[in-house]
Amino acid sequence: MRAGLLNEIIKIKRRVTKINESGQKEHKYTDLATTRARVIYTSGARDIENKDIVWEYQFKFEVWDYVDVTEKDIIEYDAKEYKIKSINHDKKQQKKIISTELITE
């Protein structure tokens, strides 16, 4: 992979679980890393779920092999959050290809 292709900045967020005073588990996402990535638009569509209009965008993010990312993390790009569907490891080009989907509230 060529370094010049990594022209976008993304944040990787990881879920941290804490137990509060009453014994309940609280989940919160904290920033793990900020890195450069190549962003590839895969698809986008408008759909109706439960009488709500939902925008379904899918992107692929290519990052260097050493970036610490798992399937349970969230990627923030362009002020939107994306959940990770899969991570493909390309050893020849020393990169990870992360397939994501936009998180809709």
- Structurally, what CATH architecture does the domain formed by 3-102 represent? Beta Barrel (2.40)
Confidence (pTM): 0.86
| Per-residue model confidence as pLDDT tens for the chain (105 residues) | 677 889 999 999 999 999 988 989 999 999 999 999 999 999 988 888 888 888 889 999 999 999 999 999 999 999 999 999 999 999 999 999 999 999 987
Q: Are strands 52-64 and 74-77 parallel, antiparallel or unpaired?
A: unpaired
pLDDT tens track for 19-33: 988 989 999 999 999
Map out the domains of the chain as residue ranges. 3-102
How many C-beta atoms surround the C-beta of residue 94 within 10 A? 11
